[in-house]
Structure 1
Amino acid sequence: MLDTSARLLRLLSLLQTPRAWPGSELAERLGVSGRTIRNDIDRLRELGYPVDATRGATGGYRLGAGAAMPPLLLDDEEAVAVTIALRIAAQGAVPGTAETSVQALAKVEQVLPSRLRRRVRTLQAYTVAVPADRPAPTVSAELLTTLVSACRDRERLRFDYLDHAGRPTRRIVEPYRAVNWGQRWYLVAWDVEREDWRTFRVDRIQPRTPTGPRFAPREPPGGDIAAYVSRRVSGAAWRHHARVTVHAPAAAVVEQINPAVGTVEAIDADTCVLVTGADTVQTLALQLGMLDFDFEVTGPAELVGHLRRLADRYGRATPPIG
């Protein structure tokens, strides 16, 4: 499919030049048979591109009038998905891209067939986005591009960074991936001086140029990079931490919790430890109450006291047995 798409793009590029192309010459240019060229011409016509054909010594294929717009080689669902994504970007998902997203959206909508344009406009008219409770940290497209380019090229990054407490530090890292979670972006990288993997909030990064030397890739932490980020970010933000013994197999507990809630460590076939936390003991107690297994809590004291108060309250809320 990718080879076919690339060939169609190349074919369109040739047909946009102000001349007629004999089928044999197109076949030679693209390294395919004449039959493939005829099939590709039919495909372009199905996609809405007016390809004219003339016979004779000076005949051949050329794009008809009205085909000056760049080619849009997408099926119906892909075209709608691209348009929706541009609409979301135009709402300012990444600061600095709103204006260019609107411009790109206008160009895409211009070349959409009428049946798709109606679907897209219906989605726009009858869907509403709820603003975030808190404003998202500002991350420029230029900064994201710098970080992901360093990831791609495997070049060390030097940057100034504000840590969780707001203290300025200077870091040298080997960047691996930029991860989007909710309204925030994070950079996962190997910290050269600390000799360990670290997660950095992108809005707190101020890159220094130029980038450093190239590095050999390392095995990423934890396998699932998204789960790794959610665990690290959640754990760093918790005010209350707890190690809870759960009387159930580790695999069964893992199925019931989100990676952002905590990690599970097996003890034996029927018991495990849930390492978890939350910003309040009330939230932590709620998370534990949603486990459909027996568990034991020995600390912290604030959590133990809150669970005892909940047990008394629930006891008073239900009629006595018998």
Structure 2
Amino acid sequence: MSRPTARLLQLLDLLQSAGTRTLGELAGRLEVDERTIRRYLDHLRDLGVPVEAIRGRHGGYRIAAGYRMPPLMLGEEEALAVLYGLVDLRARVDSPVPPMATETAIAKMRRALPRGALARAETLIAAAVMTPDRPHAPTAPDVLLGVADAVAERRPLSIAYRSKAGAESARTVHPYGLVARHGRWYLAALDLPSGEVRTFRLDRVRSVRTQPGHFRPPPPHDAVADLVERFATADYAHTARLRIRATPEQIRAVLPPSVAVLEPLRAEETGEEGWQRATIRAERVDWLPGLLLGLSVPVVIEGPDELREACAAAAARLRALATGTP
């Protein structure tokens, strides 16, 4: 494929992926000058693509509403990838896509595959047992797609959000990153009223609306690492503090960054080298004794008393199991 043809297809993809795009934005994305973009736009019109020019402060170019591209052409491996993804989606109890839509999409992909590729796909589908993930409240497709567009285009968002306690609020945010973790979607965004970067669960977002303009990209950051850190430092009912004599690597094998925050302790504090303090925030502590047993290293509970009680109760259950006491 020639370079101009590739750029023409890229331009068409850009125009279809969002609403109105400015001439400067298109030129920047394709790394050409604005005169070249105008020529490419004329080529698209010559091919029958209804490209509209929008005047005004927020003007630019867009594809006319209601226009549909010809059927999507996929290679064999691309079609298999889509089919496998649909089958995995069908197993999710919290899928944002209605079950009927998933089933009809699977049927269409099966019909589109060549006979040889279909046989491979059917073999895998028949042999694989797809175990559903933990059920979660689904994220509305229009919310997920709207947030993804805003993240990609660096556009402010107005969101209607419901907190963990059920409080409804309207917020304006600068969306920085979108992360999928353990069956849920999360948005890392600058919350304009508070001026703080916060994490929002998308299944709690009722609606989104893109605002005019663009915001300056944030400094480079790892959205996944940010999310994991927020999990470990969130405001929960209990804060457990432990002293553990082990290397960070040994501790992380049992207590990942999403569970515990680690800090090294000085020898003057503990009387010997090699101790770490782990801070764990959680709504409940009854699940911690089993993890602490898995460490197989010296552990001292600094608090709270609820954790000591949970460990004592777990020890009594283990003692009963070991002695056969009912």
- TM-score, length of structure 2 as denominator length: 0.65
2:279 aligned with 1:275, yes or no?
yes
Q: Residue 281 of structure 1 aligns to a residue in which SS?
A: coil
* Distance change >3 Å, CA 180–CA 289, structure 1 → 2: same
- Of 153-162 and 309-318, the range deviating more from structure 2: 309-318
Q: Deviations over 1:18-67 (max 9, x none)?
A: xxxxxxxxxxxxxxxxxxxxxxxxxxxxxxxxxxxxxxxxxxxxxxxxxx
Q: Deviations over 1:236-281 (max 9, x none)?
A: 4843321111122334423442233222122246221111144433
Output aligned runs, 1:143-222, within 5 Å: 143-219=143-219
Query: For structure 1, which runs of at least 5 residues remain unmatched after alignment?
Result: 11-67
Mapped to 1, the partners of 2:74 and 2:208 lie a distance apart of 38
**In structure 1, what is the equivalent of residue 35 of structure 2?**
none
Q: Is the 8 A contact 2:154 2:175 kept in 1?
A: yes
RMSD of equivalent CA atoms: 3.6
* Distance change >3 Å, CA 307–CA 96, structure 1 → 2: closer
Q: Deviations over 1:209-261 (max 9, x none)?
A: 341431111135xx543343244346548433211111223344234422332
Q: Residue 209 of structure 1 aligns to a residue in which SS?
A: strand
> Partner letter of residue 180 of structure 2?
N
Output aligned runs, 1:78-117, within 5 Å: 78-90=78-90, 94-96=95-97, 98-117=99-118
> Partner letter of residue 232 of structure 1?
R
Structure showing greater Rg: 1
* Distance change >3 Å, CA 143–CA 70, structure 1 → 2: closer
Q: Is the 8 A contact 1:158 1:212 kept in 2?
A: no
Mapped to 1, the partners of 2:285 and 2:124 lie a distance apart of 42
Mapped to 2, the partners of 1:309 and 1:188 lie a distance apart of 39
Q: Is the 8 A contact 1:90 1:97 kept in 2?
A: no
Mapped to 2, the partners of 1:303 and 1:194 lie a distance apart of 34
* Distance change >3 Å, CA 210–CA 83, structure 1 → 2: closer
2:74 aligned with 1:72, yes or no?
yes
> Partner letter of residue 195 of structure 1?
G
Q: Deviations over 1:156-202 (max 9, x none)?
A: 11222111211122222110122222332211111122222211111
Q: Taking CA–CA contacts closer than 8 Å with sequence separation of 6 or more, which of the two structures ends up with the larger relative contact order?
A: 2
> Partner letter of residue 75 of structure 2?
L
CA shift for structure 1 position 72: 2.5
Q: Is the 8 A contact 1:262 1:277 kept in 2?
A: yes
- TM-score, length of structure 1 as denominator length: 0.66
* Distance change >3 Å, CA 301–CA 119, structure 1 → 2: same
Q: Residue 172 of structure 1 aligns to a residue in which SS?
A: strand
Mapped to 2, the partners of 1:209 and 1:229 lie a distance apart of 23
Q: Residue 258 of structure 1 aligns to a residue in which SS?
A: coil
**In structure 2, what is the equivalent of residue 232 of structure 1?**
230
Q: Is the 8 A contact 1:72 1:111 kept in 2?
A: no
* Distance change >3 Å, CA 126–CA 315, structure 1 → 2: closer
Mapped to 2, the partners of 1:306 and 1:254 lie a distance apart of 22
Q: Is the 8 A contact 2:155 2:210 kept in 1?
A: no
Q: Deviations over 1:57-85 (max 9, x none)?
A: xxxxxxxxxxx97533244xx54332111
Q: Residue 166 of structure 1 aligns to a residue in which SS?
A: coil
* Distance change >3 Å, CA 251–CA 70, structure 1 → 2: closer
Mapped to 2, the partners of 1:313 and 1:99 lie a distance apart of 47
* Distance change >3 Å, CA 285–CA 277, structure 1 → 2: farther
The count of aligned residue pairs is 255
* Distance change >3 Å, CA 219–CA 273, structure 1 → 2: farther
**In structure 1, what is the equivalent of residue 34 of structure 2?**
none
> Partner letter of residue 112 of structure 1?
L
> Partner letter of residue 279 of structure 2?
V
**In structure 1, what is the equivalent of residue 243 of structure 2?**
245
2:296 aligned with 1:295, yes or no?
no
Mapped to 1, the partners of 2:219 and 2:121 lie a distance apart of 42
Mapped to 2, the partners of 1:310 and 1:94 lie a distance apart of 36
